[in-house]
Copies of this chain bind each other. A is one copy, B any other.
Amino acid sequence: MPKARKKKPLSVRAKTQAKIVTLPDSGASLVDRIEQAIHDKIATGSWRAGDRIPNEMELVEQFGASRATVNKALSSLAASGFLVRRRKAGSFVAPNTEMHSVFKTIDIRNEIESKGQRYSFRLIDRVVQPSKEASLYWPELEAESKIVALTGVHCADDVPQVLEERLINLAFFPEAAEADFALDPPSVQLLKIGPCTRLENVISARLAEQFEARILRLPFPSALLVSERKTWSNRVPVTLFRLNYPGGSHSFVGHFSPVEHKY
């Protein structure tokens, strides 16, 4: 059964690079421009996590490049964790373009549940305020926007574990003003809206205030390990938060080698 396949000579293309390309032509190399274009599709949400992207031959036609060139771009994106590629299956946008590797610890719920304990988040306080209230800590915010300030505790089997103070940019997540965080803590809900594309993290230590010690059920003079983070989603400031861990029972582990695990 000779399948009626169009055997066209794979698009005749200008020699030595096609300037026909539909890309914003900068000085960058073709590989870089292809990489950029695909990354943009992902960053803007045109292509979403799990989507199958066009295969190499389709991209070859689309960009007027050779397969080797397209392959290089795709491989690079896969190496950076934006794509997952499988033979015969195709290339897929990686699940969750959220921050890879470094600092997975964002997900406290997961951490607690993986120890077989029941997770819950107890909201202690919530206020809506103009962003200029926080402009000292969070100058990146636009002056006239509004924010929600939250305080809550992450609990394992109803025992308080981590005290969270958080500011959320309402422009990014309007529902934050009345959402229920008992099931999904703020961090999880925020990630559902958009990926975290940038993160700033400051780790410090301090003595717990008396009321903080009470909330976390710690003896009074106690040390807290504090992780203060700001996140962005495609250049939009999303949230600023402080996770207060009891000093003794928590720590951050990092493991570095010049090139991760390759050699």
Identify the A interface with B (CB < 8 A): 36, 39, 43, 80-82, 97-100, 102-103, 197-207, 221-226, 245, 247-248, 250-259, 262-263
One of B199, B247, B250 near A256 (C-beta < 8 A): B199
Do A257 and B198 touch (CB < 8 A)?
A: yes
Q: How many copies does the complex hold?
A: 2
One of B102, B251, B252, B263 near A43 (C-beta < 8 A): B263
Do A253 and B200 touch (CB < 8 A)?
A: yes
17 residue pairs bridging A and B, Cβ less than 8 Å apart: A81-B258, A97-B258, A99-B258, A102-B254, A102-B256, A197-B257, A198-B255, A199-B256, A200-B254, A203-B253, A204-B248, A205-B206, A205-B226, A206-B247, A206-B248, A207-B223, A223-B247
Give 3 closest A-B pairs by Cβ, nearest first.
A205-B247, A205-B205, A221-B221
Q: From residue A121, how far is it (CB to closest CB) to chain B in Å?
A: 23
Q: From residue A195, how far is it (CB to closest CB) to chain B in Å?
A: 8
